Amino acid sequence: MAQQVFAYIIHKNGVADDTALEMIAAARKLDPDASVAAVIAGAGAELDAVCSELVSSFSEVWKIDNEALAYVNAEVLRSLLVRILPTDGIVLVPHEHFGMDLAPGLSIKLDAAYLPDAVDFEGVEDGKLKAVREEYSGQVSTHVHCDISQGAVITVRPGSFKADESKSAAGKIVDKTAEAMEGGLPGGARRFLEIVEAEVGDVDITKSDVLVSVGRGIEDEDNLEMIFDLAKAMGADVSCSRPIVDAKWLEKSRQVGTSGQTVKPKVYMALGISGAFQHVGGIKGAPFIIAINKNPKAPIFQAADVGIVDDILDFIPELTDRINEMKG
């Protein structure tokens, strides 16, 4: 494969995101001989700090440095990238909120193929990449063929490739700012205003040692009482998955997941939670995970240490009674 591979680097406060080194691993799986160029946008000293960190891992680091990119707006960045990227390159982008904003449109503007949310690569043959994706919130997987011969934009699921920590490159920083800015700063139709920080709730689940976490399997708002009863018996705090917040049954500050809170408990009990990757992605620090779900195929059983296949509505009240008995 003679095509150049690019990895878009997300960064914050002068530090590259965990996905940066995962992109190298993904690129190597795509093409073991690939020289991988990092592409990064930002401003000033923070950008320079990330770049100097990246040169030990990437053969080239393409940077776009401009005051207007201090907070990167995907609508602006997309137009800049189109000016500097070759149309037949392979562009890897993390599949998270920024990548999802940037990448689909980028594939159109580069007239490149688009492969969203890849979790593994299984080789390239005759210009066709064989990749693995998941559908139905991870209940089934699929193989897909993506014709990458005329270029491709591929979003890669965070955490699906093991970070390449070898730091084996002695790369160089290539300043692409002038080329990217030729013709002026694009966009303007979508203007970034501000970040509204998450509201702090009555319980800070990021500090809890034991979490009893509830998902769609609870079925009805009135049933939440049994979860709070169990948590009380255990001395635990109550957290939840996204559907519970969407239904407005619990406040957003209790949501575990990539779009909610990142938690680091010692013990995590997932009750009626299917275990979409966005949820599991919010559980860090390798806690002991217990999953209870009536669907034996629920992806949460892959993340859990111990599983119980049962309807939480039947199981939880019995468990709570037993704990209360035990404690007298």
Partner 1 sequence: MEILVCIKRAPDTSENEIEVNRDGTDIERDDLVYSVNEWDNYAVEEAIQIRDKMGGSVTVVTVGDENDEEVIRREMAMGANHGILLSDETFKGSDGRGISAILKAEVEKKNYDLILTGAQADDGAGQVGGMLAAMLDWPYASLVNFIEVVDDKKLKVGREIAGGNQEMHEIDLPCVLSIQTGINEPRYVGIRGIRKVASLEIPVHTAGDLGIAPESVGESGARTKRLDYFVPDLGEGAEILEGSTEEIIDKLLELLKAKGGIK
| Interacting positions 266-305 with partner 1 (CB under 8 A) | 266-267, 269, 274, 288-291, 295-297, 301-305
Separation CA 10–CA 18 (nearest Å): 9
* Pairing outcome for strands 306-309 and 210-214: unpaired
Binding residue (CB under 8 A) for partner 1 from 255, 263, 271, 283: 255
C-beta closer to partner 1: residue 13 or 45 = 13
CB of 8 to partner 1, least distance (A): 15
Binding residue (CB under 8 A) for partner 1 from 85, 93, 258, 312: 258
Residue 41 interacting with partner 1 (CB under 8 A): no
Residue 69 interacting with partner 1 (CB under 8 A): no
Residue 103 interacting with partner 1 (CB under 8 A): yes
Residue 264 interacting with partner 1 (CB under 8 A): no
C-beta closer to partner 1: residue 175 or 305 = 305
Q: Taking the CB of residue 171, how many other CB atoms lie within 10 A of it?
A: 18
DSSP 170-185: --EEEE-HHHHHTT--
In the region spanning residues 230 to 249, those forming contacts with partner 1, defined by CB under 8 A, are: 233-236, 242-243, 245-248
| Sequence-distant (≥ 6) Cβ neighbours of residue 32 within 8 angstroms | none
Binding residue (CB under 8 A) for partner 1 from 18, 135, 204, 221: 135
Residue 30 interacting with partner 1 (CB under 8 A): no
Residue 262 interacting with partner 1 (CB under 8 A): yes
Q: State phi, psi for 234 to the nearest 5 degrees.
A: -85, -20
Residue 315 interacting with partner 1 (CB under 8 A): yes
On whether the CB atoms of residues 92 and 58 are closer than 8 A, the answer is no
Here's the x/- map for partner 1, 104-133, by CB under 8 A: it reads as: xxxxxx---xxxxx------------x-xx
In 56-119, the DSSP E strands lie at 60-65, 90-94, 113-118
On whether the CB atoms of residues 255 and 241 are closer than 8 A, the answer is yes
Binding residue (CB under 8 A) for partner 1 from 134, 164, 229, 237: 134
Placement of tokens 């303007």 in the chain: 188
Distance of CA 165 to the CA centre of its chain: 19
Residue 88 interacting with partner 1 (CB under 8 A): no
Instruction: Specify the stretch interacting with partner 1 by CB under 8 A; choose among 31-39, 43-51, 139-147, 221-229.
Output: 139-147
DSSP 242-304: HHHHHTTSS-GGGBBSTTSB-B--SEEEEES----HHHHTTB-S--EEEEEES-TT-THHHH-
In the region spanning residues 206 to 235, those forming contacts with partner 1, defined by CB under 8 A, are: 209-210, 216, 233-235
Residue 163 interacting with partner 1 (CB under 8 A): no
Residue 173 interacting with partner 1 (CB under 8 A): no
Using CB under 8 A, count the residues that bind partner 1.
97
Separation CA 46–CA 161 (nearest Å): 26
Residue 14 interacting with partner 1 (CB under 8 A): no
